Structure 1
Amino acid sequence: MRWTLKKEPEKEKIDKLARELQVDSSIAKILCQRQIETFEEAKKFFRPNLKDIHNPFLLKDMDLAVARIETAISKNENILIYGDYDVDGTTAVSLVSSYLKTITPNIATYIPDRYAEGYGISYKGIDFAEDNDFSLIVALDCGIKAVEKVAYAKDKNIDFIICDHHKPGDKIPDAVAVLNAKRTDCNYPFDELCGCGVGFKLIQALGTNRNQTITDFLPYLDLVATAIAADIVPMVGENRVLAYYGLQVINEQPRNGIKAIIHQINKKELTITDVVFIIAPRINAAGRMKHGNYAVELLTEMDFDAAVKFAADIEIFNADRKDLDKQITNQALIQIIDKDEENKNTTVVYQEDWHKGVIGIVASRLIETYYRPTLVFTKSGDKLAASARSVKGFDVYNALLQCEEFIEQFGGHKYAAGLTLLPENYIHFKNKFEEVVSKTIDKKLLTPEITIDAEIELSEITPKFFRILQQMAPFGPQNMKPVFKSSCVRDNGYGKKVGADETHLKLNVFQGDNKQTFNAIGFNLGDKMDYVQDEFDIVYTLDENEWQGFKSIQLVLKDLK
């Protein structure tokens, strides 16, 4: 691990903010690092407010989208709500379809089959719309590059409204409306909404004609918060407000589908991390193992008992998914060793029978062992399909762009992408990708980095300090949980390896003459027990540990030296 201390903001700024907020300088420093430098900015940050949700009509084409949907409603047209099979897509479809059903019965949903159709808008989906008399398709979390498909639909007199958040290509599809804050000709104040977030703006805009205000849309925010967490979009600006209120809905009055998932895991209060690791994988498991329709049915189910049944099915899909991803990861690791590819700058592996639904997870798992840009391929029809994942600081989308000659189609963003290619191009692609990455990657990016917000003394960790940190949640990209470093700490002699196979580390640490000890847990750090004999440095986040009704602050170790 590389330990990197974040750049120190100007001392005057830190001191001024510490005085204004009456907080420790360490807290003020962390806020300044996050561009929160004044009392007003801090107030906005610590007290997310629905007033800071932007006017949806600031999105280019929103007026056209609303006008077309209103026409469809007044003329009793059939509207098809189309979205991808991942969490962002299925939550977006659930959100928009459940809102429109409160206005018109002529609404159906369509999730493409991951295997038969692949990612994004498909010809099969458009043919389905034609066969079933749909004259309008609202595409969510996809479509920004579907120029030919939208033209194909137009020839069949089917209109498209596209709600997307992926990077547009050179040409925008000729749809009735294309809602995407990343369009160069769009002046919307926040361009990091997820697909479900764009869907939310659409229903918010439709609500203005019905005299609905933002509070009428609060019940939909459990879906938006789930998508924000799962799609790993920046947890700042409008996303932070939506996630903050969405978490409240998840914990107080979630829709039946989410309630049924929570019901199974028996957890009292969920954080955004729980949404990422508990709710999102289960919603995702439907599209990975069976069909994304299961997720939409779960998330739109009005009857709780029926939702519990769906959730039980999805629980099985999720268990199967876990088994599969473990098995494929092991096979991939063996392949890397057998082919003597441990010392490359990339990982590219392929086996034709690997399950397409889990190759993205496998790519992430492989990065845990070989920290480098990774692609996992499997056979998909007469082509090969892959999921790409990257390491912090390296743009895998740009690297793929430079290998375009061997790729049939691809899409995605900086850290995750998907692509297809012809089998005969696999080796050419693999060699070219290694060549491109080797030339362009800064070699230090091939060692995982821990970014440290501040170095503090353990004595600074007080209940008030911890309380303020908790109020910085929800955490996510650009507002990560603060990471601290403390130097020259000792263990009180009761430190030990824990866990079934002793992979974790449990310590009681103190610093200098101050004998106050803190419980510390280091997941997967059991092999560092040898460092604990004398003084050592630690990097950690803070968490609350509850044991037999007693709550205490716990250090969650990320590394030690």
Structure 2
Amino acid sequence: MRWTIKPKPEQPQIDALATSLKVDELVAQLLLQRGITNYEDAKRFFRPQLSHLHDPFLMKDMDKAVERIEKAITQEENILVFGDYDVDGTTAVALVSSYLESSYPNVATYIPDRYNEGYGVSYQGIDFAEDNGFSLIIALDCGVKAIDKVAYAKEKGIDFIICDHHRPGKTLPDAVAVLDPKRADCSYPYDELCGCGVGFKLIQALGSKKGETTEDLIPYLDLVATAIGADIVPITGENRVMAYWGLQVINQEPRVGFKAIINQIKKQVLTITDVVFIIAPRINAAGRMEHGQHAVNLLKETDLERAEFFAAEIEKYNTDRRNLDQEIAKEALLQIQENKEEKGFTSVVYKETWHKGVIGIVASRLIETYYRPTLVFTKSGNKLAASARSIKGFDVYEALEGCSNTIEQFGGHMYAAGLTLLEENYEAFKAKFEEVVSSTMDPTLLSPEIMVDAIISLDQITPKLMRIIKQFAPFGPGNLTPVFMAENLKDTGYAKVVGQEGKHLKCKLFDKNSGSKRAAIDAIGFNLGQNLPTITNASVSAVFSLDENEWQGNISLQMKLRDLKEQVGYQY
């Protein structure tokens, strides 16, 4: 791994902020590195307020969207709330449909089938709307590129309102309203919302017309926080505010569907990390293994007994998903090794029987072993479908644009995308993708990078520092957990490997410069078991974050190791 130490802010800046906030220099440094330069910035950071959210009518077409929905309600039209089958889509559908249903009955939901319809707005969904008398479709987390499908709906007398956050193409669909902060002609102050976040701005706008305040909409923020975490959007600006308040809802007054999941996992306080790794995979599992509508049903359920039944169903889907993705990942790794493709800039694998619902997870697993942009293909109808995942600093969406002459359809983000192509184009695509990536990527990106906020000594690690760092949460892109580096460390002599197959490293480190083992701090290094000989025989430098370890009711500070290097001759 490459260790990159962030530039330290100028000392006068550190001193001024430390004095203003009455904090020590290290905390001031961490805040400055996050763009927080004064007392007001710090206040907004540590105490996110709903008043910090922007006026939803600053978003292009918001007035048109609200006007069309109000007209639909006045004329008693049937409204279909349509969304993608992943966490962002299903939470957005649950949010907008439940909000509308709270005052208007003629609302239904539609999640496309991942296998029969694929991603986004579908012709089948539009036909369903026509057959069942829906004259307005609100599309969430999809639709900004659905030009032909929106035109098809218009021919049938069905209007569209699109709430999306993906990058638009050169032409927008002919919808009544296209709400997307990434539109080139949209001057909305924050363009990193997820799909559910755009849905929240829509209900915020609708609510303001009825005299509701943002405080009235707090119960919906648990859905937004879940989507923010799952969709890996930056936890800055509005996303930070909504994630902060949404986590409070999840922990204090969770909706019945979340309560049913939390009852299963028996965890008292959930962080955004728990939402990403515990709640989100379960919601996602419905669309991956069965149908995304199951997730919407759970998220909208108000009866706990029924919710627990739905949650048990989804738990089974999640177990099946986990077993399946582990099995496919082994096959995919073997394919890379057999084809001797470890040396390239990309990993592209294909087997027609692989389950379409888990190929995105498999792509992420492959990156853990072969750190490079990765695509996993499977057969989908008469075409091949793939999930793409990228590595830090490389835009896989842009790379796919460079291969567009071999692709039927694609969409997504910098770090995650999906595509379809004809089977006869697979080898041509594979060669072109390798060519595009190898010619545009800086080779240093192929080594995972750890960004280090500050070099510290172990005596700076105190319960007070931990209390302050916990207030930096929620963590995520744009506000990552502070990472530190300490040098000249030695194990007290009890280092060992723990966990399945000895994958993890457990040790207790002290600073050799101080010479006192009494000041040693417990450390855990997940997937660092191979470092046992190094830490046993040599002084090391370590990169780590701070964590709290709870054992038999006692809470103690520990270092969560990210990487270790032998002290002599290392480079970072």
TM-score bracket, shorter-length normalisation = over 0.9
- SS for the counterpart of 1:560 is strand
Moved more, 124-133 or 179-188: 179-188
Q: How does 1:40-119 map to 2 (within 5 A)?
A: 40-119=40-119
The alpha carbon displacement at 1:219 in A equals 0.4
The corresponding residue for 1:166 is 166
- SS for the counterpart of 2:501 is coil
The alpha carbon displacement at 1:186 in A equals 1.1
The corresponding residue for 1:516 is 519
The corresponding residue for 1:558 is 562
Q: How does 1:197-212 map to 2 (within 5 A)?
A: 197-212=197-212
- Cα distance in 1, alignment partners of residues 521 and 368 from structure 2: 28
- SS for the counterpart of 1:353 is coil
- Cα distance in 2, alignment partners of residues 22 and 493 from structure 1: 39
The alpha carbon displacement at 1:79 in A equals 0.1
Q: Which amino acid aligns with 1:108?
A: A
Q: TM-score, normalised by structure 1?
A: 0.99
- Cα distance in 1, alignment partners of residues 547 and 232 from structure 2: 21
Q: How does 1:542-553 map to 2 (within 5 A)?
A: 542-553=546-557
The corresponding residue for 2:539 is 535
The corresponding residue for 1:472 is 472
The corresponding residue for 1:433 is 433
Q: Which amino acid aligns with 2:80?
A: L
The alpha carbon displacement at 1:500 in A equals 3.1
Q: Which amino acid aligns with 2:122?
A: S
Moved more, 50-59 or 221-230: 50-59
- Cα distance in 2, alignment partners of residues 412 and 498 from structure 1: 39
The corresponding residue for 2:445 is 445
- SS for the counterpart of 2:172 is coil
Superimposed CA distance per residue, residues 500-524 of structure 1 (whole angstroms, 9 cap, x where no aligned partner): 3211111111112243111100011
The alpha carbon displacement at 1:13 in A equals 1.1
Q: Which amino acid aligns with 2:527?
A: N
- Cα distance in 1, alignment partners of residues 376 and 553 from structure 2: 45
- SS for the counterpart of 2:387 is strand
The alpha carbon displacement at 1:534 in A equals 2.5
- Cα distance in 1, alignment partners of residues 510 and 451 from structure 2: 23
- SS for the counterpart of 1:184 is coil
Q: Which amino acid aligns with 1:88?
A: D
Q: How does 1:206-285 map to 2 (within 5 A)?
A: 206-285=206-285
Question: Does residue 1:380 correspond to 2:380, yes or no?
Answer: yes
- SS for the counterpart of 2:184 is coil
- Cα distance in 2, alignment partners of residues 181 and 403 from structure 1: 26
Moved more, 87-96 or 48-57: 48-57
Q: Which amino acid aligns with 1:340?
A: K
- SS for the counterpart of 1:384 is strand
- SS for the counterpart of 1:193 is coil
The alpha carbon displacement at 1:233 in A equals 0.4
Q: Which amino acid aligns with 1:553?
A: L
The corresponding residue for 1:343 is 343
Superimposed CA distance per residue, residues 95-125 of structure 1 (whole angstroms, 9 cap, x where no aligned partner): 0000000111100000000000000100110
The corresponding residue for 1:196 is 196
Question: Does residue 1:325 correspond to 2:329, yes or no?
Answer: no
Moved more, 338-347 or 82-91: 338-347
Moved more, 222-231 or 511-520: 511-520
% identical equivalent positions = 66
- Cα distance in 2, alignment partners of residues 550 and 469 from structure 1: 20
The corresponding residue for 1:525 is 528
- Cα distance in 1, alignment partners of residues 274 and 541 from structure 2: 29
The corresponding residue for 2:153 is 153
Across the two proteins, how many residue pairs are aligned to each other?
Answer: 561
The corresponding residue for 1:419 is 419
- Cα distance in 2, alignment partners of residues 171 and 93 from structure 1: 25
The corresponding residue for 2:406 is 406
- Cα distance in 2, alignment partners of residues 173 and 472 from structure 1: 40
- Cα distance in 2, alignment partners of residues 527 and 450 from structure 1: 19
Q: Which amino acid aligns with 1:442?
A: D
The corresponding residue for 2:570 is none
- Cα distance in 2, alignment partners of residues 263 and 223 from structure 1: 18
Superimposed CA distance per residue, residues 411-444 of structure 1 (whole angstroms, 9 cap, x where no aligned partner): 0011110000000000000000011111111000
Q: Which amino acid aligns with 2:462?
A: T
- Cα distance in 1, alignment partners of residues 15 and 481 from structure 2: 22
Q: How does 1:482-497 map to 2 (within 5 A)?
A: 482-497=482-497
Superimposed CA distance per residue, residues 442-474 of structure 1 (whole angstroms, 9 cap, x where no aligned partner): 000001111111111110111111111000000
The corresponding residue for 2:393 is 393
Give 5+ residue unaligned stretches, structure 1. Answer: none
Q: Which amino acid aligns with 1:147?
A: I
- SS for the counterpart of 2:500 is coil
- SS for the counterpart of 1:501 is helix
- SS for the counterpart of 2:519 is strand
Q: TM-score, normalised by structure 2?
A: 0.97
Superimposed CA distance per residue, residues 179-237 of structure 1 (whole angstroms, 9 cap, x where no aligned partner): 11111111111111100000001111111122110111000010000000000000000
The alpha carbon displacement at 1:342 in A equals 1.2
The corresponding residue for 2:356 is 356
Q: Which amino acid aligns with 1:199?
A: G
The alpha carbon displacement at 1:333 in A equals 0.7
Q: Which amino acid aligns with 2:345?
A: N
- Cα distance in 1, alignment partners of residues 307 and 80 from structure 2: 23
What is the RMSD of the two structures over their aligned residues, measured on CA atoms?
A: 0.7
- SS for the counterpart of 1:288 is helix
- Cα distance in 2, alignment partners of residues 209 and 446 from structure 1: 51
- Cα distance in 1, alignment partners of residues 280 and 563 from structure 2: 27
The corresponding residue for 2:568 is none
